[in-house]
Amino acid sequence: MLKNNKIIVAGAGGFIGGYMVGALLRQGHNVRAVDIKPQWQWYQRFSEAENLTLDLQEKRACFQAVNGCDLVFNLAANMGGMGFIERNKGLCMLSVLINTHMLVAARECGATRFFYASSACVYAGNKQTTVDNPGLKESDAYPADPEDGYGWEKLFSERMCRHFREDFGLATRVTRFHNVYGPHGTFDGGREKAPAAICRKVIAAKLAGSHDIEIWGDGQQTRSFMYIDDCLHGVKTVMDSDIIEPINLGSEEMVSINQLVDMVEDIAGIKLKRQYNLDAPKGVRGRSSENTRIRQLLNWEPAIPLRVGMEKTYAWIYDQMKSGSSKDAVVNRY
């Protein structure tokens, strides 16, 4: 990515988008940051970027966002953890408007390369029915049976990227994220994912002197989690590569939710009594990334240990909760 290129990051007010803007600025790039949220609600905001508040579900807004940019990073979507996507399938599906209009704008405005952030939720449900999941290969997305709502939108948008590459010559790159986590993300309010939610629950118990924690499901469901630094490195590497088909971007370090709670309890130095809510949203039974392809093509894979990332995430959330800071507080980088 040449430093004289103009780069747009769509979804810049979100968790991954905020980190992406910061990383690109540190590398010397000219960045346009775009999000639908008012800028005081962005998780990270940088004065060096051109910051715009636009609704990218609208075609006109996408043209305004992309015009004059060479490279497009589309991280914009209406999403959250399992508690959000299971209860908001229609809202998640509407994100298809964002990627569709962004692709059209990229093509017509002359962008040279387009990145789309997909998700492990595209994978077939019948491949995720046991806790000892051997890891999902890229081919496991078909025959199609993705997560209802959110997963279908991601799979459809992957196909849109493919056909814009094949039919119109727009160079597209797609990665399937597996549970990205880290500081400066959502940790309450309903959109948070498991690592942040468990940190919040353990910290709340610690600060209140409580001895209980609610776990969604039976705690035996398994997942892998990727720290934000690995995510950023992987996105840039794939964007710079010749990889044209969707590729996994996730850790192979699979743990159960019970094991994740054990880890956070150990970090916090407490032990809590677990109350299992079997009626809460819990998603598939087992999901992890299978990284053979990314190792072969890039000689790299996400490798930051879960314990290392969780210690940093826990420390940041603890500071936010101890100080009473809002989950929506913006980190201004001036």
Residues 210-265: pLDDT tens digits? Answer: 999 999 999 999 999 999 999 999 999 999 999 999 999 999 999 999 999 999 99
Per residue in 1-51, pLDDT (tens digit) is: 656 679 999 999 999 999 999 999 999 999 999 999 999 999 999 999 999
CB-count exposure of residue 323 (10 Å: 0-12, 13-18, 19+): exposed
d(CA 188, CA 180): 16
pLDDT in tens, 124-169: 999 999 999 999 999 999 999 999 999 999 999 999 999 999 999 9
Domain boundaries defined on the chain:
6-183+225-253+291-304
Burial class (CB in 10 A: 0-12, 13-18, 19+), 68: middle
Q: Of 269, 260, 259, whose CA–CA distance to 318 is shortest?
A: 269
Of the residues 123, 150, 314, 318, only one is catalytic, namely 150
Query: What's the CATH number of domain 6-183+225-253+291-304, 3.90.870.10, 3.30.450.20, 2.60.40.1120, 3.40.50.720?
Result: 3.40.50.720
Give pLDDT tens digits for 45-86.
999 999 999 999 999 999 999 999 999 999 999 888 778 888
Mean pLDDT across 300-326: 93
43 included as an active-site residue:
no
